[in-house]
Amino acid sequence: MARRKLIAGNWKMNGSLAALAELDGIAAAARAAPGVDVAIAVPATLIAPAVARVSGIAPAAAREPGLAIGAEDVHPAEKGAHTGCISVGMVKEAGAVFSIVGHSERRADCHETDQQVKAKAEALRRGGLGAILCVGETLDERDAGRAEAVVTGQLAASLPEDAAADWLSIAYEPVWAIGTGRTPTVADVAAMHGAIRARLRALIGQEADAVRILYGGSVTGDNAAELLGAGDVDGALVGGASLTAAKFVPIVEAGAALA
Ligand code: PEP
């Protein structure tokens, strides 16, 4: 099945109002690449100004067809006594159209469990937002030959009810490849994406063939074409190289060349 590539950025705890100027070039590249979807997840404080910047209109009404702005995390509850957390409704009001959930940095830093990740994804679905659900093994797990079991286990335990391609993508991000400059071989990426697809089929049947599986971990303009061309790779989740248009646009262009 033909799936549109999704090139998504994750600014993590980086960025500022001044840095939003980088979105101008990224939005222009997205508009020039109608065959791919382009998205950037930004810190919560930057969602509304980012949406305003790429749309040029008020955040509540903003939807830029070329570049989707999203959140990096959400709380599963609608509201309540959760100091410092942000709900789906809040990021939606700010103009976000999707959120990342289950990033390995949150699983590690905030001890997020598969069950919590699942609840977050389900809250996004209820709110009408898209989700990018991250899974990935540590280096110890890979060295022990457990990478596939760990990743497909995370997938099974954190996959939301009603998982469907129109709102959910999976991101395979080996923890040891994030921010390190190291990447798995293309064959290893293809093998893991195939394993994820097979587990998805077992869990949700034919719908699995429409769900996009992104690769994430030290993607750059230099390796994007090779990684995006691997079997069952439907896009990229990009951290460091999404912070500037100069580094991110070549990745968007690599995706567009394969569209
Ligand atoms: C990420 O944070 O999801 C990521 C893949 O980071 P980087 O591209 O910097 O490795």
* Reported pTM: 0.95
**What is the rounded end-to-end Cα distance, in angstroms, of the chain?**
13
pLDDT at 60: 44
Residue 244 domain boundaries: 5-257
Is the pLDDT assigned to residue 149 strictly greater than 90?
yes
Question: Could you tell me the distance, in angstroms and rounded to a whole number, from the CA of residue 103 to the centre of ligand 1?
Answer: 10
Confidence of residue 135 (pLDDT cuts 50, 70, 90): very high
As for how many domains the chain has, the answer is 1
Q: Is 193 a catalytic residue?
A: no
Q: What angle do CA 217, 219, 222 make, to 5 degrees?
A: 150
Is the pLDDT assigned to residue 62 strictly greater than 80?
no
Q: Which CATH number belongs to the domain containing residue 215 in this structure?
A: 3.20.20.70
CB 218 within 8 A of CB 183: yes
pLDDT at 55: 83
Question: Could you tell me the distance, in angstroms and rounded to a whole number, from the CA of residue 80 to the centre of ligand 1?
Answer: 31
Choose, from 64, 103, 137, 141, the residue flagged as catalytic: 103
96: tokens are 């976000």
pLDDT at 248: 98
> Which residues, including other chains, have CB under 8 Å from residue 217's CB and lie 6 or more apart?
136, 173, 174, 176, 177, 178, 180, 182, 183, 184
Ligand 1 — pocket residues by CB below 6 A? 10, 12, 173, 178-179, 216-219, 237-241
CB 116 within 8 A of CB 77: no
Only one residue has tokens 């921010």, namely 179
Is the pLDDT assigned to residue 74 strictly greater than 80?
yes
